[in-house]
A and B are shown apart, each in its own frame.
Chain A
Amino acid sequence: MIAGFSTTSGRFDWTGFIFAILLAIVIAVPLLVVFTWAFTEVWRYPSVIPQKFGLRFWDQTLSRADVWEALSISLRLSATVTFLSALICLPAAYAFARMKFPGRDLFFLSFLASHAFPKFGLLVAIASIFLQLNLIATFWGVVLIQLVGTLMLMIWIPVAAFQAVDRRMEEAARDVGAGPLRVFWSITLPQAFPTIFAAVLLTFVSTFYETEGAWLIGAPQIRTMPVLMINFINNQVVIQYGAVLSVILWVPSFIALMFARRVIGTGAFAKGFGA
């Protein structure tokens, strides 16, 4: 009988099983295909598995100077943007979560505004301003444009994190002799840390993959990995280039996720994302 599968409820959870299968198909199959393509030299139509595996396209991709330069730019950009975003947003998030000041709600909502309009129109408008400021095709121009995109995430998630910290815990710390700064450093921040870390990670990853802003402001001097990948795909109909770059692009986020799991544990991590 299927009772053997049961853990607590006594019935096999078919709904969960079907969801798991669907998710696996949606997530795992495309990944599998991309991975396979990245290590393929020959793969013609009727065959289910490639005729010839090999690392030829890896050699070709990795020997290109522009790939390495793009990777370096992407990593530096993402790190800079994430750092600046955290520097600006975390204190602001704390203020939103814990302080009352006039116009607080309006100001808070304004962070949504950058995401409430078609992004491309906004980007073009900003680009025309940047043009006058000589920020087009510069590193800091791209940093600025990508920073705008990260603000909402880096405000809204940490605000929720700070609000979720039990006020009594902070009061208890005051009670045993900690000043306001010490309370923030020793109690509030560690309590909110898993969630904030999740926000920082999301910011890093989404900046790494951000394309429109980087392309519109950065081109042609500043070419990030995703921009380079679009070039590759547009110019040469060699699937392997795209696949190899996809796998390379996937590495930083994978490392980030693994790191996150190690640092804060899966439970807290999922909690940070609102699970």
Chain B
Amino acid sequence: MARLTIDNLRKAFAGTVAVDDFSLDVADGELVCLLGPSGSGKSTVLRMIGGFEQPSSGAIRIDGQDVTRLSPERRPTGMVFQSHALWSHMNVFNNIAFGLKLRRLSRAEIRDKVEHALELVGLAGYGTRQTFQLSGGQQQRVALARSLVLEPKILLLDEPFASLDQHLRERLREEVRDIQQRLGITTLFVTHGQDEALAMADRIVVLRNGQCEQADAPDVVYRNPQTQFVAGFIGQMNFISASVEGGRFLHPDFMLPVNVPDGPAVLAVRPEALDLASAQADQGAIVLRSTDFGSHIMVDLQLRDGTRLKAMTAPDQRWQKRASVHLNVGQFALYRDNHLLTIGQPVGGSEQAPEVEPALSV
């Protein structure tokens, strides 16, 4: 039904570039998350699609139709704002009905559609309430209903759950995902919460400084981060800086055979890809702290050069504070200047990941 194409979008505000050469293709019915830290330009992209900001250059097409210069009221997009932006001088019914009234629908038709929309977001019977009588979550549902009732081609969500508490946020994002699937509506979702992106998106677009760092399915973004920034932004990640010489990643505590050109490099390892083994005192890394999360234990470690690491271990493994441990690295990635050099298991190994030799034994 609705396909969104963004070509070389650029937006500069008084000298600073907010969005730089951003391109994206969103397929019909796809839910794409724009993920990035604040100031990454993700909201600006969304606001340009909604028509609230004019791009400096580039084009936005919906189903092939160029909407780049259309005003917001002429675009087939529906936006849900972070602050929900309900009109406080109207009750719930009138908030949802406003857009329908502008379209000059009959009274009966409006009533049917509003009731249907309220049902869709689980607020049947709330029409006569005033907006300030609703909780934060309910207000956001009304805002969602207000957009959905007009059957937009593209649904735009601008950090819609940011003002809600954790528990409600998790419930609401499941509901939104559910509604989006049922309606099959093409959706763009802006968030700075990686768990939200991982839980909801068909595809995650990671933005930094107005540029796209990576656009892939959640599992790909998590397992094959193409830049060091993405590796650090999504999920927990340990970074160890050192240099590669003669096919080996050399760190005072830590050595790993790798097949990349010589030079400085950053090794990235997920906490769950680090295995710990007891070592003799004064060898390897030192345990700073271990935190029991029930399903797993998170061990904070310090290498001798001061680098801090996190390792995820099984709940039956107990690590004493100040104990010395060897690290076994599973899957890792190597970056240089933010770009991926290589990704994979330690080379030269067999099925099981080889133990990383402590520097002392080199």
Closest Cβ neighbor of A168 among chain B residues: B85
Q: Which of B73, B83, B86, B89 makes the CB contact (< 8 A) with A175? A: B73
- Encoded as 1 (CB less than 8 Å from any A CB) or 0, chain B from 49 to 90 comes to 011100000000000000000011100011101110111110
Q: Which of A176, A182, A186 makes the CB contact (< 8 A) with B150? A: A176
List CB contacts (< 8 Å) of A158-179 with chain B: 166, 168-169, 171-179
* A191: chain B residues within 8 A (beta carbon): 87-89
- Encoded as 1 (CB less than 8 Å from any A CB) or 0, chain B from 81 to 114 comes to 1110111110000000011001100000000000
Q: Is A243 an interface residue when CB atoms closer than 8 A count as contact?
A: no
Q: Is A187 an interface residue when CB atoms closer than 8 A count as contact?
A: yes
* B71: chain A residues within 8 A (beta carbon): 174, 179
Q: Is B10 an interface residue when CB atoms closer than 8 A count as contact?
A: no
Q: Is B324 an interface residue when CB atoms closer than 8 A count as contact?
A: no
- Encoded as 1 (CB less than 8 Å from any A CB) or 0, chain B from 154 to 194 comes to 00000000000000000000000000000000000000000
A175–B98 CB distance below 8 A? no
Closest Cβ neighbor of B150 among chain A residues: A176
Q: When chains A and B are docked, how far (Å) is the Cα of A168 from the Cα of B81?
A: 7
Distance of A107 from chain B, by nearest CB (Å): 23
Instruction: Given the known inter-chain contacts A177-B99, A182-B102, please indicate yes or no for A172 contacting B88, CB distance below 8 A.
Output: no
Q: Is A220 an interface residue when CB atoms closer than 8 A count as contact?
A: no
A171–B87 CB distance below 8 A? no
Closest Cβ neighbor of A175 among chain B residues: B79
Q: Is A190 an interface residue when CB atoms closer than 8 A count as contact?
A: yes
- Encoded as 1 (CB less than 8 Å from any B CB) or 0, chain A from 69 to 87 comes to 0000000000000000000
Q: When chains A and B are docked, how far (Å) is the Cα of A175 from the Cα of B47?
A: 11
B102–A175 CB distance below 8 A? no
Q: Is B146 an interface residue when CB atoms closer than 8 A count as contact?
A: yes
A169–B85 CB distance below 8 A? yes
Closest Cβ neighbor of A166 among chain B residues: B85
Q: When chains A and B are docked, how far (Å) is the Cα of A179 from the Cα of B102?
A: 10
Distance of A178 from chain B, by nearest CB (Å): 6
* B85: chain A residues within 8 A (beta carbon): 166, 168-169, 171-172
A172–B81 CB distance below 8 A? yes
* B51: chain A residues within 8 A (beta carbon): 174
Q: Which of A173, A176, A179, A186 has the most CB of B within 10 A?
A: A176
Q: Is B147 an interface residue when CB atoms closer than 8 A count as contact?
A: yes
How many of A's residues come within 8 Å of B, CB to CB?
Answer: 18
Q: When chains A and B are docked, how far (Å) is the Cα of A190 from the Cα of B51?
A: 24
Q: When chains A and B are docked, how far (Å) is the Cα of A187 from the Cα of B103?
A: 17
* A168: chain B residues within 8 A (beta carbon): 81-83, 85
B87–A175 CB distance below 8 A? no
B87–A174 CB distance below 8 A? no
Q: Which of B52, B98, B143 makes the CB contact (< 8 A) with A171? A: B52
* A179: chain B residues within 8 A (beta carbon): 71, 73
Closest Cβ neighbor of A183 among chain B residues: B73
- Encoded as 1 (CB less than 8 Å from any A CB) or 0, chain B from 136 to 161 comes to 00000001001100100000000000
A166–B83 CB distance below 8 A? yes
- Encoded as 1 (CB less than 8 Å from any B CB) or 0, chain A from 166 to 206 comes to 10110111111111001000110011010000000000000
Instruction: Given the known inter-chain contacts A177-B99, A178-B102, please indicate yes or no for A172 contacting B146, CB distance below 8 A.
Output: yes
B146–A176 CB distance below 8 A? yes
Q: Which of A169, A177, A191 has the most CB of B within 10 A?
A: A177
* B89: chain A residues within 8 A (beta carbon): 190-191, 193
Instruction: Given the known inter-chain contacts A169-B85, A169-B87, A187-B87, please indicate yes or no for A177 contacting B102, CB distance below 8 A.
Output: yes
Q: When chains A and B are docked, how far (Å) is the Cα of A177 from the Cα of B147?
A: 11
Q: When chains A and B are docked, how far (Å) is the Cα of A96 from the Cα of B72?
A: 23
* B82: chain A residues within 8 A (beta carbon): 168
Instruction: Given the known inter-chain contacts A177-B99, A177-B150, A186-B98, please indicate yes or no for A171 contacting B81, CB distance below 8 A.
Output: yes
* A174: chain B residues within 8 A (beta carbon): 51-52, 71-73
B103–A175 CB distance below 8 A? no
List CB contacts (< 8 Å) of A90-146 with chain B: none
Q: When chains A and B are docked, how far (Å) is the Cα of A178 from the Cα of B74?
A: 9
B77–A175 CB distance below 8 A? yes
List CB contacts (< 8 Å) of B124-141 with chain A: none
Closest Cβ neighbor of B94 among chain A residues: A186
Distance of A172 from chain B, by nearest CB (Å): 4
Q: Which of B78, B81, B86 has the most CB of A within 10 A?
A: B81
Q: When chains A and B are docked, how far (Å) is the Cα of A75 from the Cα of B12?
A: 55
Q: Which of A171, A176, A193 makes the CB contact (< 8 A) with B99? A: A176
Q: When chains A and B are docked, how far (Å) is the Cα of A193 from the Cα of B102?
A: 22
B73–A177 CB distance below 8 A? yes
Distance of B74 from chain A, by nearest CB (Å): 8
Q: When chains A and B are docked, how far (Å) is the Cα of A176 from the Cα of B79?
A: 8
Distance of B54 from chain A, by nearest CB (Å): 14
Q: When chains A and B are docked, how far (Å) is the Cα of A185 from the Cα of B103?
A: 17
**21 interchain pairs, CB-CB under 8 A:** A166-B83, A168-B81, A168-B82, A168-B83, A169-B88, A171-B50, A171-B85, A172-B85, A172-B86, A172-B87, A174-B73, A175-B77, A175-B147, A176-B146, A176-B150, A177-B99, A179-B71, A179-B73, A190-B87, A190-B89, A191-B87
Query: B-side interface residues toward A, CB under 8 Å?
Result: 50-52, 71-73, 77-79, 81-83, 85-89, 98-99, 102-103, 143, 146-147, 150
Question: Assuming A168-B82, A172-B79, what are 19 further A-B pairs, CB within 8 angstroms?
Answer: A168-B83, A169-B85, A169-B88, A171-B52, A171-B81, A174-B51, A174-B71, A174-B72, A175-B50, A175-B77, A175-B147, A176-B73, A176-B102, A177-B99, A177-B102, A179-B73, A187-B87, A191-B87, A191-B88
Q: What are the 9 closest A-B residue pairs judged by CB atoms, nearest first?
A: A176-B99, A168-B85, A174-B72, A172-B85, A190-B89, A177-B102, A177-B73, A168-B81, A175-B79
